[in-house]
Structures are given as C-alpha cells and as structure tokens.
C-alpha cells in the first residue's frame, strides 16, 4: 500500500534521499538515511539529534496489536496510549480524512506539546485492518525533520497478516480459562526514570504465564533509550480462580538491573538485584474477543492500581482494567537474559489420589456428609445422615456414591452414579450415564451392608457447576467448592456456609471414603 498522505502540519516539504527498505512486523518502509536505528521488542525506532541547535526527532514504528474493531476506535486508543499519556498535548488535535487502501483504513493526527521548555510536536498515523492495528508515531521539536517523517509515511507498505499463526496459544475457546501466556506492552512507566525517557523513547512489557497446576510466573521488562540500565521484574507464586475472580499470591518477587549490551536493547550484565514487596491481589477477570475471530484478550480489573500491572489502561472498554493479549508472532514472549526460558507446566496426576498442591485439579475422591433433607433421603427418617462422595479420574470419568443411613430404619440406601465430566476453566460439567438407588438390609441392625433388596433407576441429571478449591489447613486439607444456580438431586440442598454451593473435602484417613457393599 503506497502513498499514505499523513497530516502533520500545513506546510510543503520535499523528499530526500533514503536508505533501502526495512520490514518490521506488518510494515515495510524506507527509513531515513543517517538516523540512529534501535530495534526493540515491540517497536523499531529511528532517532536523530543536533547538539548545536538542540533539535531532535524520533520515529517509532510500533508492532501491531489486536484491533478494537474500527479505525475510529483504534486511533482513539492509540492516541491515548501513545500521545496523551506521554506528551500531554497543549493544542487541539488536527486530523486528516480516513483513507482506505487494500483492506486497510488509515487515520493520522497531530498535536503540539511542551518539552524542556520548548514547543514540540507529536504526529500519529494509525492503520486498521484484518483485525490488526498498526501505528507510527513521530515526535520532534524542529520543523526541519518533517520532510523525513512525511517521506517515511508515504513509503509505507502494509501486508495482510497471516491467520492462525499464534505461538503457544491459550485456550481461546474457553472464556473461563487463563492457562497460557499473556502479555501487554506500553510506553515506559514514568515512575521508573526521567521525563525524557518517558516522553521520547522506551517501553514496558508485562507478561503472565498461568500454569495448569495453579502456579504462575510474571515477568516485566522496562527499556528506555536514555536509561543507563534495563529493568527486569521476575515473580512467581500461585493463583486461585473463584467464579470470575482470580487471586494472585506471589511467593518471590525481585527487581534486577541489567546493563545494555552495546548500548542497545540487549541484555548485558546483571548489575543488581533486590527483593520486591509481595503483592497479593484479587482481580475480576474477563476474556473478551475484541477481534471477532475468537482471539481472546485477558482483561484484569481492580479498583486500585497495582505495582505488578502498573497504571490502568486508557482503553475504557472495561473500567479500571489492564488488557493482556495472547502470545503470537506479533506479540512474542519477553526474551530473558542468557536464554532463560519459562515454560508452561503440565502436571500428571494419579487417578485416585487428590492432587492437593494443584488449585485447579479435581482429580481424586471428595467427601461430604449432612443431615439435611435431600431427594435421596428416605421419607419419615428424622435422623438420617447422608454421605456423598465424588471420585474424578484422569480419563475424564467419574463416580458418585451417596449413602443414607438412619439407625431407626431397617434399610440403608445407596445411590450409585457414573459418567463423564468436562472441565472448561473453572466450570465443571457432569454428564451421568447411569444412576440407580439401591436399598440394602442391615446386618443385625448395624451400619453394615446386608443384602440388596431393591434397585430403581434415577433420572439422569446433567449439571454445570462453577468450582474452586480452598486450602483449609497446614496439613494440605482442601475443600472442593461446587456452585450451581439451583439445588441438585445429586448434591442435595445447598451448604449453609457458602451461598448456592456445596463443600466437599478431599478424602483422607480422617475423612475415609464410603465403604461399599462387596460386588
């Protein structure tokens, strides 16, 4: 796509001599000759300064992100993140008319700002198409560089992105799953260094890796052209999902300072390392498909700005939120020093033993007892105790046994059910294949199985629960909380301690499983 006419100022400029073409992400262009080039993780920059006149100019070619759906929404979002947030414009924004070319829509705008007591200008060109958004931002304090900026913009050629090229994809078909790697990138955090670094050059990338075993890693990299160091945050801990909230509990967090290799955006030598305060935070989370092609952004919300996530995003689609995108060719993982890799861990679990160290695992046997009414309870029995027990196996099958015992009754009742289950994030769907109620005689009127007297089929009850786990003791005793909109025959009335929920506890010597009649 050639000849994009950008609107910066109303003046006539002439073309100059340029070097050979460069390609960065979805953009091919001709860079200005003689400018200093710097390749970062999410942007390619060209800088020029004149020490005599104190003039300068910087052009940033920004890596593409997921589109908000329209050129208007993309431009406004990019303007807020790339211009307003960094430069605090002092003049009304000038804009051009939206242009269209080969499936892309392009919009440009400019505004003045003040830097170092001198008037400067910020110029943004944004293209939206194929569910992607790309931008080029130029800032300068001298009119002499406008011809260079204009020539670069007019040389742009945007390519259609490849579909389905994501690397290390997350569970895009599961709106409740956070397992996978998520990253966001923005301009450098102002709290890290001086105003020049904040307003002229730099970025900060934040990345979560949520493992299926309930652990997480967090990495944050902060780079600025005028910084003497590259800052690296490394954190790990555990996370727990409850409904649409996720609680992140760090176990270790450090801030490292690294030198720049050859003065560029490459790790040099570690200069220092210090511990960071551990910040336990509960977020509301949502997976939102901004693109319309089933590529989900992970949206985290909390009323308070956090040290880990930085300032809230200026994107107001969600209130007080941060937007993390899945890893892809256009949103690569943060490269760590010395080739260090952090991988998503997947844990293999035994069939019968509950994996108590995994906050997202339901494998094993879970027990609950009560004296409340239930549809399984025998009529006229005023002292019935009901024991319920789930066993979830690794092959996605389950059994459910329900024993109703009353010392005043002549019989003991046993519900048996089996079928399959499906997990999707923190949702659990139980699909029974067979469910029966058995009546058994007692041996000498004790709590011992006698003979099978009667069997009747029970209606099959497919239910989707919300589930989460809580560690309730230092001995790693866990509760499995199942929640549903209404009581079920299988689980009986809701527990009194949790609204619309049942509480099951992992089987142990102190909480033995139901002893079944001999087959």
Q: At 472, is the pLDDT very low, low, confident or very high (cuts 50, 70, 90)?
A: low
Element (H, E) at 85: helix 85-87
pLDDT in tens, 85-144: 778 888 889 988 888 888 899 999 999 998 878 899 999 999 998 888 899 999 999 999
* 173 pLDDT higher than 60: no
**Proportion of the chain above pLDDT 90, given as a percent:** 29
* CA distance readout (Å), 267 to 58, 230, 340: 23, 7, 12
- Is the CATH number of domain 22-158 3.40.1000.10? yes
pLDDT in tens, 100-116: 888 899 999 999 998 87
What is the rounded distance in angstroms from the CA atom of residue 229 to the CA atom of residue 261? 10
What is the rounded distance in angstroms from the CA atom of residue 348 to the CA atom of residue 353? 12
Q: At 180, is the pLDDT very low, low, confident or very high (cuts 50, 70, 90)?
A: confident
Which residue, among 217, 281, 207, 220, has the nearest Cα to 256 in the 3D structure? Answer: 220
How many helices (H) and strands (E) would you count in the chain?
A: 4, 29
Domain ranges of the chain: 22-158, 180-339, 364-506
pLDDT in tens, 441-458: 998 888 889 999 999 999
Instruction: Determine the average pLDDT of the residues in 5-23.
Output: 47
* 167 pLDDT higher than 70: no
Residue 473 is classified by DSSP as S
Residue 339 is classified by DSSP as G
Q: Can you spell out the DSSP letters for 272-300?
A: EEEE-----EEEEEEEE-SSSSS--EEEE
Which residues does 485 contact at the CB level (< 8 Å), separation at least 6?
Answer: 500
What is the rounded distance in angstroms from the CA atom of residue 73 to the CA atom of residue 75? 6
Cα of first residue to Cα of last residue in the chain, in angstroms, is 75
Structure tokens at 417: 């059910």
Instruction: Determine the average pLDDT of the residues in 290-306.
Output: 77
Instruction: Determine the average pLDDT of the residues in 365-373.
Output: 73
* 283 pLDDT higher than 90: yes
What is the rounded distance in angstroms from the CA atom of residue 303 to the CA atom of residue 96? 37
Exposure of 47 in the CB half-sphere (CA atoms within 13 A): 15
pLDDT of residue 169: 42
* 223 pLDDT higher than 80: yes
Q: At 218, is the pLDDT very low, low, confident or very high (cuts 50, 70, 90)?
A: very high
Say whether 244 sits in a helix, a strand or coil: coil
Say whether 265 sits in a helix, a strand or coil: coil
Cβ-in-10-Å burial (0-12, 13-18, 19+) of 87 comes to: buried
Q: At 493, is the pLDDT very low, low, confident or very high (cuts 50, 70, 90)?
A: confident
Q: Is the Cβ–Cβ distance between 31 and 22 less than 8 Å?
A: yes
pLDDT in tens, 308-356: 998 888 877 788 999 998 887 667 889 899 878 775 443 333 333 334 4
Q: Which residue has the tokens 């450090």?
A: 254
Around Cβ 33, how many Cβ atoms within 10 Å? 12
Element (H, E) at 137: strand 132-140
Around Cβ 338, how many Cβ atoms within 10 Å? 6
């Amino acid at each position: 796509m050639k000849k994009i006419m950008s609107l910066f100022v109303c003046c006539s400029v002439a073309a100059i001599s340029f070097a050979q073409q460069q390609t960065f992400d979805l953009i091919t262009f001709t860079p200005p000759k003689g400018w200093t080039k710097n390749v970062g993780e999410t942007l390619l920059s060209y800088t020029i300064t004149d020490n005599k006149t104190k003039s300068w100019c910087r052009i940033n070619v920004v890596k593409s992100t997921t589109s908000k759906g329209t050129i208007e929404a993309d431009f406004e979002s990019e303007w807020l993140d790339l211009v307003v947030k960094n430069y605090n414009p002092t003049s009304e924004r000038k804009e051009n008319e939206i242009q269209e070319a080969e499936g892309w829509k392009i919009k440009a705008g400019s505004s003045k700002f003040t830097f170092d007591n001198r008037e400067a200008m910020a110029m943004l060109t944004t293209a939206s198409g194929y569910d992607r958004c790309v931008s080029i931002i130029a800032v300068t304090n001298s009119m002499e560089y406008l011809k260079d900026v204009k020539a670069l913009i007019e040389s742009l050629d945007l390519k259609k992105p490849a579909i389905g090229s994501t690397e290390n994809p997350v569970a895009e078909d599961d709106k409740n799953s956070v397992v996978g790697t998520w990253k966001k990138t923005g301009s450098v955090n102002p709290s890290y260094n001086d105003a020049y670094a904040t307003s002229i050059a730099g970025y900060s990338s934040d990345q979560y890796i949520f493992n299926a075993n309930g652990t997480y890693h967090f990495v944050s990299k902060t780079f600025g052209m005028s910084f003497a160091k590259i800052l690296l945050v490394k954190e790990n801990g555990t996370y727990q999902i409850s409904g649409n909230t996720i609680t992140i509990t760090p176990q270790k967090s450090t801030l490292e300072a690294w030198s720049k290799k050859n003065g560029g955006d490459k790790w040099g030598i570690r200069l220092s390392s210090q511990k960071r305060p551990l910040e336990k935070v509960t977020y509301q989370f949502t997976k939102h498909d901004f693109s319309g092609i089933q590529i989900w952004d992970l949206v985290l919300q909390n009323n308070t700005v956090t040290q880990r996530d930085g300032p809230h995003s200026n994107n107001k689609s969600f209130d007080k939120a941060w937007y993390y995108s899945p890893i892809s060719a256009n949103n690569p993982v943060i490269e760590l020093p010395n080739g260090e890799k952090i991988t998503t861990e997947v844990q293999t679990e035994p069939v019968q033993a509950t994996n108590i160290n995994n906050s997202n695992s339901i494998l094993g046997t879970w027990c609950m007892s009560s004296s409340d009414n239930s549809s399984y309870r025998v009529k006229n029995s005023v002292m019935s105790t009901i024991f319920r027990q789930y066993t979830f196996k690794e092959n996605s099958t389950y059994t459910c046994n329900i024993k109703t015992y009353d010392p005043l009754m002549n019989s003991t009742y046993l519900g048996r059910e089996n079928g399959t289950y499906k997990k999707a994030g923190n949702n659990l769907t139980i699909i029974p294949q067979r469910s029966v109620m058995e009546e058994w005689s007692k041996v000498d009127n004790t709590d011992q199985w006698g003979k099978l007297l009667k069997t009747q089929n029970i209606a099959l009850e497919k239910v989707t629960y919300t589930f989460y786990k809580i560690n309730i003791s230092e001995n790693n005793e866990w509760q499995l909380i199942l929640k549903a909109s209404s009581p079920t025959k299988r689980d009986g009335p809701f527990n009194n301690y949790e609204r619309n929920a049942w509480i099951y506890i992992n089987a142990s010597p102190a909480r033995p499983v139901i002893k079944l009649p001999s087959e």
